[in-house]
Amino acid sequence: MTQFSYTIQDELGLHARPAGLLAKEAAKFKSTVTVESGAKKGDAKKIMSLMMLGAKKEHTLSFTVEGEDEEACAAALEAFLKENYKDMIKIKDEALKPYQVSVTIS
């Protein structure tokens, strides 16, 4: 059994997009991946299970990985969360910037 934790930094918490990407990443491995947030537990390979955790910003997710490829799985998921959550925050921030419009009146 391998365990690690990740604290959510995104203002929107664990919403549909990162939950879907996380489930897709976890599904690449044979190991069972359980995620806990407070008293709730979920299967990291199922998007709805992840969404039901209701994890918000600053919530810590605890991952437990068990199986034949647990070490590789845990390392990949931890790296995925660190890199992709950072990228998702950047993408969201860029999308929310107001458009700059230049108007010339003659």
- With a threshold of 0.75, does the pTM exceed it? yes
The residues assigned a catalytic role are 15
Bridge pairing between strands 40-43 and 2-7: unpaired
Contact 16, 47 (CB under 8 A): yes
Contact 3, 60 (CB under 8 A): no
Contact 62, 35 (CB under 8 A): yes
Q: What's the token pair of residue 79?
A: 């790296």
* Per-residue pLDDT tens digits of the chain, which is 106 residues long: 999 999 988 888 888 888 999 999 999 999 999 999 999 999 999 999 999 999 998 999 999 999 999 999 999 999 999 887 655 544 444 444 555 555 567 6
State the CB neighbour count (10 A cutoff) for residue 50: 25
